Structure 1
Amino acid sequence: MPSTTRERILDAALELIQQQGFGGTTVTDIEELAGLSPGSGSFYRHFRSKEQVFREVLERELARAREHRRDFERGPVADPQEALTRRLVQQLDYLTKVRPLMNLLAREHGRFPDLTRRIRSVLVDQGIAEEAEHLGRDLPGEPAHDDPHALLAVVVSALTGYELSRGFFGRPPADIAPDRFAAALAALVTGRPGRE
């Protein structure tokens, strides 16, 4: 299905703002990358301003992130450590998929604090609450889980650090593959040694 002009503008804005920042991206740049005649005013047939297109880019990427999160494994598990490892691998994949949103937030978080707060609430706070519920169900009675929200904050920080390192350096830390990283993190969370 061919993309609409509006979608092409959003895609162009996403790409350019990640590369050049909000202030360094012009409407003419967006028009050109979207395949419109630069300086023709075509942009303004779809958006009132560069700020509006940026806000809509963030909203679209947030909706995409929510959609990716719906695919996470849920339900009863036979082996909690294996299930946790699979979910952590899913979360690493999720972080790769939401990388454009992370890039925008890292670059422009101070410019739109209302959007930053909302995205943090949806992606981080709600994500931690959801995963804490699953952790409590999958690993009941584990002494390390007296404070599941704090534990999940540590896990999210580890996953985010791994993904940022992959993005920044072009490879995972110590070349540890995502499945190995997830298995080691799951072993730490469960307090059980990793499997051979």
Structure 2
Amino acid sequence: MAPSTRARILDAALELIQQVGFTGTTVTAIEERSGLSPGSGSFYRHFRSKEDVFRAALERELERAQQYRREFERGTVEDPQAALARRFLQQLDYMAKIRPLINLLAREHGQFPDLTSRIGGILLDRGIVEEAGHLTHDLRAHVDHADPHALLTVVVSALSGYHLARQFFGHPPAEVTPERFAATLAALITSPRTADPHGTE
């Protein structure tokens, strides 16, 4: 099924803004990229302004990101280390899928601070809370940690760093494959806790 005109405009705006930024993107260029007659005003049958289409593009990418996350593996498991390794591979795949959204936020966060704050809260803050809930509920017998939110913050930072290094340099750090990285991170998390970092034990 061919994408609607609105969807084509959103795709075109997303591509252009990633390439030349919000300021450098014109309505005429969006029309041309989306297969509409440049300068015809067809754009305005679907969006009121360039800012309107940018916000709509971000909202669409946010919804896609949330849908990807809803597909993550959930539930209790028999082999927690293997389950976590699979989950971390899902997370890395998720980061690759939401790259357009991250690119937009990185490039234009100063232009739209309200959107950046809301999307960051949903993707990062809420994501950490959800994943911490998964650890403490589904894996509580296997992952013993005094501060699951801090643990997940470390995990997300490790996953993000690995993903960014792979994207930036074009290959995995030290040629460690995603499978090796995920398995090692899972092994670290499921290892017995030797000390309480807060000194409360």
Question: 2:169 is matched with which residue?
Answer: 169
Question: 1:89 is matched with which residue?
Answer: 89
Given that 1:6 and 1:46 are in contact with CA atoms closer than 8 Å, whether structure 2 keeps it comes out as yes
Question: 1:190 is matched with which residue?
Answer: 190
The CA distance in 2 between the partners of 1:190 and 1:31, in whole Å, is 52
Distance apart, 1:56 and its partner CA: 0.3
Aligned CA-pair RMSD: 1.3
Question: 2:151 is matched with which residue?
Answer: 151
The CA distance in 1 between the partners of 2:166 and 2:11, in whole Å, is 23
Check if 1:48 corresponds to 2:61: no
Q: Secondary structure at the match of 2:107?
A: helix
Residue type at the aligned position of 1:140: A
Is the alpha carbon distance of 1:141 and 1:70 closer, same or farther for their aligned partners in structure 2, counting shifts above 3 Å?
Answer: closer
1:1-196 to 2 correspondences below 5 Å: 1-137=1-137, 138-140=139-141, 142-143=143-144, 145-191=145-191
List gaps (5 residues or longer) in structure 2. 193-201
Residue type at the aligned position of 1:181: F
Given that 1:80 and 1:139 are in contact with CA atoms closer than 8 Å, whether structure 2 keeps it comes out as no
Identity of aligned residues (%): 69
TM-score if structure 2 supplies the norm length? 0.91
Given that 2:68 and 2:94 are in contact with CA atoms closer than 8 Å, whether structure 1 keeps it comes out as yes
Given that 1:31 and 1:39 are in contact with CA atoms closer than 8 Å, whether structure 2 keeps it comes out as yes
Distance apart, 1:141 and its partner CA: 7.0
Q: Render the CA deviation track for 1:71-105: whole Å, top value 9, x for unaligned.
A: 10001110111111110011111111101101011
Q: Secondary structure at the match of 1:174?
A: helix
Is the alpha carbon distance of 1:84 and 1:123 closer, same or farther for their aligned partners in structure 2, counting shifts above 3 Å?
Answer: same
Distance apart, 1:170 and its partner CA: 1.7
Runs of 4+ in structure 1 deviating by more than 6 angstroms, as ranges, are none
The CA distance in 1 between the partners of 2:109 and 2:168, in whole Å, is 18
TM-score if structure 1 supplies the norm length? 0.93
Q: Secondary structure at the match of 2:7?
A: helix
Given that 1:165 and 1:172 are in contact with CA atoms closer than 8 Å, whether structure 2 keeps it comes out as yes
Given that 2:62 and 2:101 are in contact with CA atoms closer than 8 Å, whether structure 1 keeps it comes out as yes
The CA distance in 2 between the partners of 1:182 and 1:141, in whole Å, is 17
